[in-house]
Structure formats: C-alpha cells, structure tokens
Amino acid sequence: MPHPLRNRLLAPGSFFAIHKPVGMTSYSVVNQVTKVLKQFVKKNQQNIALSSKTKDPPPKFRCGHLGTLDPNASGVLPMACGFATRFINYAKMVPPNHKVYTTTITLGKSTSTDDQDTDTTNYRVIREVDMSWLTREHVELHLKTFIGDIEQRPPTISAKRIDGVRAHELERKGLMTGQLSQPVQVRVDDLELLSFKPGRLPEIELKVTCGPGTYVRSIARDLGQQILHQNLGTHVLMEDGVWFYPEYVPGCGAVKTLRRDVSNGFQLEQCIELEEFLDVFGSDNNNTDTASRVKDLVQNRFQSVFETMTHMDVIHFDDLKNDGSRSKKALEKRKMLERWRHGKWIWTDDKSKLAVNTTVQPNSKSDDLVRLLVDDTFMGLGKRQPGMPSLVKRVGPLLQYE
C-alpha cells in the first residue's frame, strides 16, 4: 500500500464527508465508518505501519463527525479519521461559515416534533389548518423577516441540553414541553423559495443558508405561525368550526424532507455515499480492482489537515535538511522547532535569522491562525501574537506521528 495512504488514515489523518442517508443517526454512521476503517487498518497494518524513525506506538484509531445531522435528514456529514480527529474544532472554522439546506415544508400542519417523521417516539399531529388561501407572494413576504440575527426556540426533538438532559430524551419520556426550551440566538443568511405548491396544506421548497446551530424545523414552525397570525388577524376558523387564537398555536408548519448541501466547507458533490464507503473499505477481496477503488477514494475524497485548513496563512521554513548537522543555521532551526513543540513563541520574519517564505492565502478569514511547514512537512497550526504577526506559537495538537 502506498505511503500517502498510510498518512491519510493514521498520521496525521484526514477529513472527508459522508452522504448520510435518511433514517440513520450521525452516531450510527460514525460507528459503521469507524468499524470498517479499523478492520481495514488492522488487515493492512504492516503496510500502514508508522515510520520506523519513531518508537512511539501507533495511535488508537478513531473517527468523529463535525456536527450532528438529524436522523430524518440526509446530506453532508463531515468526518475526520485518525489523528485529524484532534483538529475537529479547527475544521469547524473552515469558511464559508454557514450551512446550506434544501427542505420541503408543509404549512398549516402542527406536529409535536416540527417535522413529519412518524417513526419518532411520541410523534403526533397537533392540528391541521386549511391554508388553501395562501399564495407564493404571501410566503416570500414573510421569508424576509427571518433573515438576519433572530431568536428561535429549538424543537422538542433536538440535541439541546435542558438542565443537563438532551431535549429528545425528555420528549421520549413525555416530559418535554415547549416552555422548557429557551430561545437561542441564530443567524439566517438567506432563504430562497424554490417552489410553491398551493392547496389545503401548501408545500414549499426552500434553500436555507444559515449559521451553525440554526434549526430548519423551527423556521418551518415559526413561518407557518407568523403567516396565520399576521394575515388572518386575531381568530382563525378551523374546519370543525372551532375558533382559536393563532398566538397559542405551537407553530403551523412542519418539515417534510431535509437535506444538508454544505457544511464546514464540504459540498454535497464531495460526499462519499455511505453504501459505497462500506463496500470499498469493508470488502474482503484483496484484488487489484479493490485496491484501485480504495486508492481512488483516498486520493480524491480524503483531505489532509493541511489541505482542509486552506483559510489559514502558510508559514514555510525552508532547507532544514540541506543544512550541515552542526551549522549555526541548523542549530537555530532545531531550537526553533523545540520551542514550537513546547508551545513557545517563535519569530517568523528576519528576526529569526532563518530562511522563511510566508504565503498569504487570498481573502483569509482567520488572520490570527497559520499553518507551519518545515521542509514541506506540516508541523501543525499556530496562532499569531495580537499586534505582532511575526510572533507565532503552536495551538492545537502536536503532530508527533509525522
């Protein structure tokens, strides 16, 4: 097995994205991916062994995801494997700093979970309201009020903690109410109405561009409630002839389908289908075709930590290997590396008396964070001293498994 494959799986590991299917939790996807990759590494451990230069034992193989995706949603689930799992918090900062969803919403329908996943424990339809009068213009008008920094109440079925307990756990026990879930501040960058299907329960298709932590199900619930309250006045006539106040209705919109198209810099087209991933890495065949499929996936769909953090500047120390072992320059560079490993400040300009080439990425979104290369070897992430950009020290994990 080629050397690059060894580095992609273990040291320093990789980031990649799985196309999560509907009906699976993010946790179960991580478990399945970890299981097949761990077996793959074990089966090829002689070829994936770490460099003989280090006496350290191989790191424990692990995988993790960069953000939960609801079981009833499909789409981009960014993941990390190997040592890259220790850089997950930095990968979450990769621009664009938003997520993009495509969702189908049924208006006029209220459910206990703000979606229409009937397999969810305690799922129930609260009420349905005839909204056959609704037009596309009505919807577009109200969508504008949801753009910007807004407050929204998370769904009862969510991972939000209430007094240390997940909201979905309280819901399963019948203890969750809307009053328990406190509003949170979120950011919605854009809401694009892709299609409108009129009827008693109208359906709309939205493209939602939002910041981390935004609940699309809450947008669906609140959008329906706002349309009822502001367009029909104080009272709404239900089909059975009973009048009620819309401000007391717990929403009047429910998500029908939800797909995440962009997350943490990963696009939907970059994803690996879960079934394909499990088939390629879980195959027992050691033939040329299987090896070729593994190589293709790893080279084209896996990203190293260095490749993932493209929004950070690069500081490049050259020619370490070309210095004489006892030269003053080599000693200074080794001393610099020791300071770096111990998390101390180092100079990256002429004051360091070292050959330095700093490459600035265009439109950098993290001016204080950098990537350090020494002889084209990635040494980890650094943070600039505020007000003194030439002073940098290591942040995050130490890449001891180079």
Q: Is 70 a catalytic residue?
A: yes
Last residue of a domain, one of 308, 341, 373: 308
Tokens of 300: 């084209």
**Same domain, yes or no, for 114 and 229?**
yes
Q: Is the dihedral of CA 144, 145, 151, 154 positive or negative?
A: negative
Residues 77 and 221 in one domain: no
Residue 104 shares a structural domain with residue 174: yes
Between helices 288-301 and 274-282, what is the axis angle to 10°? 130
pLDDT of 388 reads: 80
CA distance readout (Å), 59 to 9, 48, 401: 11, 12, 8
Domain match, 244 and 150 both:
yes
pLDDT of residue 32: 95
With contact defined as beta carbons under 8 Å apart, do 120 and 111 qualify? no
Tally of structural domains, the chain: 3
In a shared domain, residues 329 and 384:
yes
Answer whether 140's CB lies under 8 Å from 162's CB: no
Residue 171 included in any domain: yes
Q: Is 401 a domain residue?
A: no
Q: Distance between CA atoms of 81 and 329, rounded to whole angstroms?
A: 37
pLDDT at 7: 57
Tens digit of pLDDT at every position of the chain (402 positions):
444 455 566 667 899 999 999 989 899 999 999 999 888 877 776 555 544 444 444 557 789 999 889 888 999 999 999 888 989 999 988 877 789 999 999 999 988 888 888 877 677 888 888 888 899 998 999 999 999 999 998 887 766 666 666 666 666 655 655 555 678 899 999 999 999 999 999 999 999 999 988 999 999 999 998 888 776 654 454 544 455 555 555 568 999 999 999 998 899 999 999 999 999 888 766 667 777 888 888 888 999 899 998 888 888 876 555 555 566 767 777 788 888 888 888 877 655 544 344 444 433 444 688 998 887 788 889 998 887 878 888 888 877 544
Domain of 247, CATH number, reads 3.30.2350.10
Q: For the whole model, what pTM was predicted?
A: 0.83
User: Considering only CA atoms, which of 211, 198, 210, 195 is closest in space to residue 257?
Assistant: 195
Residues 237, 114, single domain; the answer is yes
CA distance 266 to 263: 5
Domain shared by 254 and 156, yes or no: yes
Q: Kindly state whether residues 83 and 131 are assigned to the same domain.
A: no
Q: Is residue 125 situated within a structural domain?
A: yes
Q: What's the one-letter identity of residue 46?
A: Q
Q: Are residues 137 and 177 in the same domain?
A: yes
- Predicted pLDDT of residue 167: 64
| Residue 52: inside a domain | yes
Q: Is the dihedral of CA 171, 177, 182, 186 positive or negative?
A: positive
Last residue of a domain, one of 263, 298, 332: 263
Q: Is residue 278 part of a domain?
A: yes
User: Domain check: are 27 and 8 in the same one?
Assistant: yes
Q: Is residue 400 part of a domain?
A: no
Digit-coded pLDDT (tens) for 106-128:
999 988 888 888 877 677 888 88
pLDDT at 48: 53
Same domain, 62 and 109: no
CATH code for the domain in which residue 343 is found: 2.30.130
| 230 lies in the same domain as 112 | yes
Q: Which of 56, 70, 117, 367 is catalytic?
A: 70
Range of the domain at 288: 3-94+266-308
Contact (CB, 8 A) for 111 and 254: yes
Structural domain contains residue 402: no
